[in-house]
């Protein structure tokens, strides 16, 4: 047959349902939706290129789901209305729907006679059975004549005709009316995005063997875009290292760039291409921002057109903002860099000024940093107090990572202040102090006193990095905070808890334990909202450490567990977690002589960055490791371990320096080296010495057989208001031992009973173990005078190892699978969880059972009859 108006033969391919592509994934959820839609008059399938629109419709048309006859018409860009309707009529004839009807064919290429559409609608109204007309590529039809004709035929043909329109954009039909009348069923781009199981099928169909993590990465890169997944799978199959390929965003972008450049970017008119290239450097774009980057007053209309035709640009609901598909954005950036490499930083700088003009200072900093305009980025950060969320780790912009590329030689006070804040955010206290000095020496340093924001930033950094108690700095922060406008303070609720946290840490460094604990309690209570979660996690961890140092082990356990639970609940990544809570729980376990539990907590804390960077936590970690080695009889190992840190005692803050010296003295006394113990304690200045240092010095004098000096030191320590529970126990034991040596055994037993009664509420065992074998002799001679010694038990027995919290039902399920020797991936598959979720549960199990390995967790659970 021929078409009279052109003389060209009808192409059978335009009336044929497209063949299955190799590795086609059957998608029952969408096939069922399409079947449901074809029970009504109109089904609309829309989406960007490569999302699987045609594949879905063709798969459905060829499947048993299509119970009614299907007529397929593919639209090409050069199809005029006359040609289109000629194919529709021929397709209907071939299906048998128009058998015996002589409708004729269009005689004009550019338009169709209305009478033909009327006759067609009338013929379809008399059709004996329903049929489905699929029009694929409707967006290619010229003008509005074809959609208008389809609307007319659909509305007048009766219930027998079921239309399925496949298009990159919404056709010019009265969709709002159809929706109100429930006449249209829509399958949109987000519906077509591949699910996890569908992505796995697609990748396997392309010869890939993906694990769960690899699938997650690819889904994140492509957002479920079918063509992107397929192209990535093909490229992975050719890669020597498929897993590394999948984790590389650049590799994924390269795999699909040609497709996007040809099918999307090149298909746009010149104004739209230029706008895409200039705005693609951003994560999202506003019409006014696009105008600032392009100089075009019609940027809003162009963005609307791009979103309407599904050019990988989508509006953000309820706003005037738009976002790009991540892969498309990367392709646009790469294309711009290859054409105009000097333009990208300039565009970022323009965007920074636009954001600043809109009062969006965080975005202004982000764009200025991306454009390398460090002076402007630093000025915005300090001027608008954005150093506060940076230090609090609120997860908002800016972060220390935003300034990781900032050169050291950027001039100005504010650049130095931001550099100091970034160091502090990474627990680099020495780096913070050196950059603060640079800020104070830089030209324009007078702004530190004249500008409230500059002065407050500097004072807060001085407080956080102060080597001692720093009460003057705390008062200075409070004074400057009062000068900040109320609306600015309201935008940064982290300010007050951060000030309290800084003051508390400074007091801890100064050896003022009880005032520090009070401030940490206030700081933790002042942390409100999601932006202060990380700061509260840190506050609770430091508070737990301070509780443990004070000998209040139950409170230390409570606060340590709360800190860890908060991190688990909010999914704080390991890179941002604090190890303070783990160190505190290790300290508790050591004081109770639960050595396996202490080792487990220490192993967990060792994995976190701040226990290797923060000077105070570095010393605390070293002390606890040494105490664990001493408890296991490894005095030499403990001394060797501590020797590596003792040389830095002079540079350390008074509190940590004293703690390190006391630990070294304890190890030396355990070895019997009184002179080494005394030398370690002499490194601490008397003015900085806490009661624990005095107690250790009394132990040294007693071991050196200087009882009078020892007694004087005991009396001095007992008079201190800062003496802790462990200190009191050790002082009573010192007096008891001296009484025993003097032959006053009854007095010694009385003093031992007092020590036992003091230690029992918190389960303090370590002071008795360290005191020596004479304690066991006295305990055996108590003769029922007191039951105080019964709780000492056998400190290293497995049954005494604690469980911090009960395991949740899901954690018990995970542990049962681990006991079956299943891998993380196998556990995830068995319980239908993601691998990351299983890892989170395992971390919680390790913490609660006080272990650091799978095997230990299983053994511990069996000891407690959990398995």
Locate the domains of the chain by residue range: 12-192, 205-302+316-357, 360-471, 690-799, 809-863
- Indicate the pLDDT class of residue 302, thresholds 50, 70 and 90: very high
Mean model confidence pLDDT for the chain: 85
Residues recorded for the chain: 867
Report the predicted TM-score, pTM, of the whole model to 2 decimal places.
0.69
Per-residue pLDDT at 516 exceeds 50: yes
The DSSP result for 483-532, as a single string, is HS-HHHHHT-TTHHHHHHHHHHHHHHHTT-HHHHHHHHHHHHHH--SGGG
- Indicate the pLDDT class of residue 62, thresholds 50, 70 and 90: confident
Distance, CA of 852 to CA of 457 (rounded, Å): 40
Q: What is the DSSP letter of 285?
A: E
Give the CATH number of domain 809-863; options: 3.30.930.10, 1.10.10.10, 1.10.10.1100, 3.90.226.30.
Answer: 1.10.10.10
Determine the pLDDT at residue 6. Answer: 46
Q: ∠ CA 372-376-381 to the nearest 5 degrees?
A: 110
Per-residue pLDDT at 108 exceeds 70: no
Q: What is the DSSP letter of 770?
A: H
pLDDT in tens, 800-830: 344 446 788 888 889 888 888 888 888 888 8
Distance, CA of 64 to CA of 58 (rounded, Å): 12
For 157, residues 6+ apart whose C-beta sits below 8 A from its C-beta are 120, 121, 124, 125
Determine the pLDDT at residue 821. Answer: 81
Residue with tokens 């409570």: 558
pLDDT in tens, 697-727: 999 998 888 889 999 999 999 998 889 999 9
Percent of the chain scoring above 70 in pLDDT: 89
In CATH, what number does 690-799 get? Answer: 1.25.40
Per-residue pLDDT at 370 exceeds 50: yes
pLDDT in tens, 461-490: 999 888 776 778 888 888 888 888 888 888
The token duo for 741 is 């040596």
Binning the chain into helix, strand and coil, the percentages to the nearest 5 are 65, 5, 30
pLDDT in tens, 612-627: 888 889 999 999 999 9
CA 453 and chain centroid, separation: 29
Percent of the chain scoring above 90 in pLDDT: 37
> Mean pLDDT lowest for which of 1-10, 641-650, 719-728, 752-761?
1-10
CATH topology for the 12-192 domain:
Rossmann fold (3.40.50)
Q: Which residue has the higher pLDDT, 338 or 450?
A: 338
């Amino acid at each position: 047959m021929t078409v009279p108006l052109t003389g060209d033969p009808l192409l059978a391919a335009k009336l044929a349902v497209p063949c299955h592509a190799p590795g086609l994934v059957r998608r029952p959820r969408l096939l069922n939706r399409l079947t449901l839609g074809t029970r009504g008059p109109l089904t609309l399938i829309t989406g960007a290129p490569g999302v699987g629109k045609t594949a879905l419709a063709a798969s459905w048309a060829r499947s048993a789901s299509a119970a009614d006859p299907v007529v397929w018409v593919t639209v090409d860009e050069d199809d005029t209305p006359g040609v289109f309707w000629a194919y529709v009529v021929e397709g209907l004839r071939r299906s048998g729907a128009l058998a015996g009807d002589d409708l004729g064919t269009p005689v004009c290429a550019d338009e169709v006679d209305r009478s033909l559409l009327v006759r067609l609608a009338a013929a379809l109204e008399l059709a004996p059975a329903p049929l489905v007309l699929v029009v694929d590529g409707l967006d290619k039809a010229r003008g509005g004549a074809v959609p208008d004709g389809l609307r007319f035929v659909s509305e007048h043909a009766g219930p027998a005709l079921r239309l399925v329109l496949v298009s990159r954009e919404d056709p010019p039909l009265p969709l709002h009316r159809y929706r109100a009348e429930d006449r249209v069923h829509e399958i949109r781009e987000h519906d077509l995005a591949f699910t996890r199981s569908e992505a796995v099928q697609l990748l396997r169909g392309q010869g890939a063997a993906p694990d769960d993590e690899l699938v997650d990465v690819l889904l994140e890169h492509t957002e479920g875009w079918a063509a992107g997944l397929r192209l990535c799978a093909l490229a992975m199959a050719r890669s020597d290292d498929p897993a590394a390929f999948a984790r590389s965003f650049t590799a994924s972008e390269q795999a699909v760039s040609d497709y996007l450049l040809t099918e999307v970017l090149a298909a746009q008119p010149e104004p739209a291409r230029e706008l895409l290239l200039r705005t693609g450097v951003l994560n999202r774009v506003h019409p006014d921002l696009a105008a600032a980057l392009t100089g075009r007053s019609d940027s809003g209309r162009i963005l609307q057109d791009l979103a309407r035709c599904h050019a990988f640009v989508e509006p953000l609901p309820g706003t005037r903002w738009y976002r790009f598909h991540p892969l498309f954005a990367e392709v646009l950036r790469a294309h711009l860099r290859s054409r105009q490499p000097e333009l990208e930083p300039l565009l970022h700088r323009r965007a920074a000024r636009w954001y600043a003009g809109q009062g969006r200072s965080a975005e202004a900093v982000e764009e200025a940093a991306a454009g390398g305009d460090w002076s402007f980025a630093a000025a915005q950060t300090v001027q608008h107090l954005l150093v506060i969320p940076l230090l609090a780790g609120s997860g908002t912009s800016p972060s220390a990572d935003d300034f990781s590329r900032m050169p050291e030689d950027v001039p100005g006070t504010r650049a130095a202040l931001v550099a100091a804040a970034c160091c502090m955010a990474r627990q680099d206290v020495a780096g913070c102090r050196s950059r603060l000095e640079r800020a104070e020496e830089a030209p324009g340093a007078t702004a530190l006193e004249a500008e409230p924001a500059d002065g407050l930033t500097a004072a807060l950094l001085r407080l956080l990095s102060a080597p001692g108690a720093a009460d003057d700095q705390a008062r200075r922060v409070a004074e400057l905070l009062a000068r900040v406008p109320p609306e600015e303070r309201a935008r940064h609720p982290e300010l007050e808890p951060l000030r309290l946290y800084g003051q508390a840490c400074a007091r801890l460094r100064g050896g003022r334990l009880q005032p520090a604990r009070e401030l940490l309690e206030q700081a933790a209570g002042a942390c409100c909202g999601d932006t202060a979660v990380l700061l509260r996690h840190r506050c609770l961890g430091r508070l737990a450490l301070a509780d443990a140092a004070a000998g209040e082990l139950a409170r230390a356990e409570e606060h340590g567990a709360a800190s860890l639970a908060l991190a688990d609940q909010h999914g704080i990544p390991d890179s941002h977690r604090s190890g303070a809570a783990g160190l505190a729980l290790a300290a508790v376990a050591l004081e109770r002589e639960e050595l396996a539990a202490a080792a487990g907590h220490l192993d967990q804390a060792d994995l976190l960055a701040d226990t290797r960077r923060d000077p105070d936590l570095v010393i605390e970690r070293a002390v606890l490791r040494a105490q664990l080695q001493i408890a296991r009889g490894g005095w030499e190992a403990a001394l060797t371990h501590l020797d590596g840190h003792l040389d830095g005692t002079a540079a350390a803050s008074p509190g940590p320096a004293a703690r390190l010296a006391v630990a070294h003295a304890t190890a030396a006394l355990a070895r019997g080296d009184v002179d080494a113990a005394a030398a370690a304690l002499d490194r601490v200045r008397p003015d900085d010495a806490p009661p624990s240092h005095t107690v250790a010095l009394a132990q040294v004098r007693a071991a050196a057989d200087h009882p009078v000096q020892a007694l004087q030191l005991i009396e001095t320590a007992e008079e201190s208001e800062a003496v802790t529970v462990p200190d009191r126990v050790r002082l009573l034991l010192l007096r008891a031992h001296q009484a025993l040596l003097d032959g006053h055994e009854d007095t010694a037993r009385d003093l031992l009973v007092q020590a036992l009664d003091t230690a029992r509420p918190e389960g303090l065992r370590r002071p008795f173990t360290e005191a020596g074998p004479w304690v066991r002799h006295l305990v055996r001679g108590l003769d029922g005078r007191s039951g105080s010694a019964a709780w000492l038990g056998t400190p290293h027995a497995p049954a005494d190892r604690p469980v911090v919290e009960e395991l949740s039902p899901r954690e018990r399920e995970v542990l049962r699978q681990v006991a079956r020797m299943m891998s993380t991936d196998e556990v995830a598959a068995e319980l239908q969880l993601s691998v990351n979720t299983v890892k989170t549960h395992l971390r919680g199990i390790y913490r609660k059972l006080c272990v650091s390995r799978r095997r230990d967790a299983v053994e511990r659970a069996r000891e407690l009859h959990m398995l």
